[in-house]
Structure 1
Amino acid sequence: MRNLFDPRPKSSRSELFDRVDELEILDKSVGRPLIVVLGIRRIGKTSLVKSFLEPYNGIYIDLRGAATHLDLYERLSEGLSNGLSKLRRIIEGIRGIRIMEFGVEIRWRGTDSISLLGLLEELNRRGQFIVVLDEVQDAKPPISAELRRVLAYTYDHLSNITVVLSGSEVRLLSDFIGVDNPESPLYGRYFIEVDVRRFSRDESLDFLRLGFRQEGIEPPENLLKDAVDIFDGIPGWLVQFGRNYIDGIRDINAIREQAISIALSELMRLSRRERAVLKAIAEGARTWGQVRRIVEERLGETIPKSSLTRIINKLESLSIIKDYEFLDNVYRDAAQRL
């Protein structure tokens, strides 16, 4: 059993801290065509969906950045390979699938090949199967469009396949599923929604205490409370705090600065205007008009209304802000330094 402070996503329910409510919803929804798991960055979506899969026949596929067919089938091959000990009997004999000693090879072009849809049809014939597509909203065209078409067909025709989509709320619902877009192949499809919440203060303290107990360490209680105040129930940051403390960094301010530096490096990849908008919100702007005035004064240029609206929508889709508030204290502190 891995320690709670292991930074890698958990893949077993015995390693997962709490999430009883979320797992109950997921378990009760097996057999439904579509489940959507939503949550902000570092909240533990990947650990939840991978651990959920443990007792079922299924596959986990990470789609971050997938833009080509090669990307898609490489991720599919990795997913089948990682679950091979459980899936070997199910996928044996499927055309285009070659089971090797340490993995699975997929032939997706030419003779004796198989497409993603063809694979799902074969799996559907073999019984109940769960397909988890993590960060599916990050898939790029043309793969993203193909995935939507495949999932719509699966929803309508493959009754043994349950698809779980995991990602950030705005981007997954609006950008990928297209809940407000009648032209999206997935528009109007009913789905089960699972919101991965941040830990309460008491849960955060219990998480830290258990993680340190697993390591045979007992930090001062006031230090744990300070960490909970700073990292506000976000498991990813709590894990980083615990890992750093175990590795010898005992200064809470140094750990906080490290987290801010990580967030700041991510924010620096945004455009100049996007960074200026975040900084304005971090400094207290709470309306569209306040943001526009501060940003224009700071940059010394006018910003068209449509451009500012697109920027704010993008920042919300990235789960950085919502309704002019930061969803994560660490990113707020990082934005103040932009």
Structure 2
Amino acid sequence: MYFGIVPKTRKEDLFDFEEEYNELLKAIKGEHRLIVIKGLRRTGKTSLMNVVYNQISNPRLFVDAREIPVGKKVTYTHFGRLFYGFLSDVSIKEKISSWVTGLDAYIQINFQKKAALSELAKRINEAMRSRNEFFCLFIDEAQMLKPSGFDRFLAFLYDRTDRIKIILAGSEVGLMDKFIGLEAQEPLYGRVKKIIEIEKFQTEKSLEFLRSGFKEKGMKYDEEELKEAVSKLDGIVGWLAAYGFYRTEMGHEAALKKTMTEGAKMVSSEIEKFLSTRSGGRKRYLSILKLLSKTPAKWSEIKNLVAAKTGKTIPDSRLAAVLDQLLEYGFIEKKKEMYYIADPLTAEAVATKR
């Protein structure tokens, strides 16, 4: 079903993702070792990963980085447990029983250390080589592992194994670019990457998504109501799917209101989490988000507004840093010389913030 409030897991539930689906599947089956899915929040990245993860027959693991507390030791411990559990799997154990023997005690003591994790990765690589297969490691919201330095370990996997494929997805676009090594000083810099971009739906595609979803449900729909929903929710498929889900249970106005109210709460929580570590510049960040929620703006317009709101002229270097942070975390977008809000529900989320 197209409509729903959770990420998809079946191919038939993906709407018009055939190109991205085939691109990801081809990359996994081909020679690519590092595959990156990029896009804004709620544009379908996790659904695409879920579907392909369920479709392929490769030995594989799926990790949602949001479930791992921040910290180098806890991150390596988490992956150590996963890798060890994978090595201990019955379907593989027959092939590597001689390696697993005696490994248990070693891992119990040492798997939290990077050296032990690299050893486990080498064991997995050997197992895959013996089976003439590739192990696929899927990591969603991968940029959240940056503070733990896990990109260094992924660089090790890329350089020192030949039977492990890494599939990453992330919604904080600028942070994701750093994590995957688009800048020279980053650990994954210089490694060949297959990058798959997930875009917001254009207006007609958004309308067709809603039409198809209601047809799938056997429901009649009003074209003007669909246009209103698209105008309010833009091309964010996550919000459109939620609206469709609620619309099957209630009227148009109630469904749209519920989608926007619940969605704004989610966006508000994300913004508060972002602002919690930037208390000194809270007013600046909120001023910019509120401005862009009303209209796209150029650099000079943003600078003038921040000065008017805070009573202080903001230095160019500081404004650049603030805008870069908002871009990195996916709250705003930049097209040519104009800055835009990335999610239409940001306006609802920041309206009452101070």
Partner SS, residue 237 of structure 1: helix
Aligned-pair identity (%):
29
Q: Gaps spanning 5+ residues in structure 1: where? A: 99-104
Pair 1:330 & 2:334 matched: no
2:278 is aligned to none
Q: Which residue of 2 aligns with 1:70?
A: 74
Q: 1:263 aligns with which of 267, 277, 291?
A: 267
2:288 to 277, 282, 285: 277
Cα RMSD of the aligned pairs, angstroms, is 3.2
Aligned to 1:205: 207
Q: Does 1:164 align with 2:167?
A: yes
Number of corresponding residues:
322
CA distance in 2 between counterparts of 1:61 and 1:16 reads 21
Write the distance in 1 (CA, Å) between the matches of 2:303 and 2:136. Answer: 45
Aligned residue number for residue 19 of structure 2: 21
Q: What is the alpha-carbon distance in structure 1 between the residues aligned to residue 74 and residue 313 of structure 2?
A: 43
Superposed displacement of residue 248, structure 1: 2.1
For residues 8 and 84 of structure 2, the distance between their equivalents in structure 1, rounded to whole angstroms, comes to: 18
Specify the SS of the correspondent of 1:166. Answer: strand
Aligned twin of 1:195: 197
- Which structure shows the higher helix fraction? 2
1:1-338 to structure 2, matched below 5 A, reads: 3-30=1-28, 31-54=31-54, 55-57=56-58, 58-64=60-66, 66-68=69-71, 69-71=73-75, 73-74=77-78, 88-90=90-92, 93=97, 95=100, 109-110=108-109, 115-125=116-126, 126=128, 127-139=133-145, 141=147, 143=148, 145=149, 147-168=150-171, 169-174=173-178, 176-180=179-183, 182-251=184-253, 254-255=257-258, 257-258=260-261, 259-269=263-273, 270=275, 271-284=282-295, 286-323=297-334, 324-332=339-347, 334-335=349-350, 338=353
TM-score normalised by structure 2 residue count: 0.78
Tell me if the contact between 2:43 and 2:237 (Cα under 8 Å) persists in the aligned partners: yes
- Following TM superposition, by how much is the alpha carbon of 1:214 offset from its aligned partner in structure 2, in angstroms? 4.1
Counterpart of 2:279 in structure 1 is none
3-state DSSP of counterpart to 1:164: strand
**C-alpha distance in 1 between matches for 2:244 and 2:102:** 42
Read off the aligned partner of 1:330 and give its amino acid letter.
L
Distance 1:140 1:38, change over 3 A: closer
Q: Structure 2: give runs of 5+ residues left out of the alignment.
A: 276-281
Q: Report the alpha carbon displacement of residue 46 of structure 1 after superposing the two structures with TM.
A: 0.6
Per the TM alignment, residue 7 of structure 1 is displaced from its structure 2 partner at its CA by 1.7
Q: Which moved more, 1:276-285 or 1:42-51?
A: 276-285
User: Quick one: distance in 2 between partners of 1:202 and 1:135?
Assistant: 29
Aligned mates of 1:74, 1:333 — CA distance in 2: 37
Query: Structure 1 residues 253, 234: closer, same or farther in 2, change over 3 A?
Result: closer
Structure 1 length-normalised TM: 0.82
| Residues 150 and 74 of structure 1: CA distance in aligned 2, closer, same or farther (over 3 Å) | closer
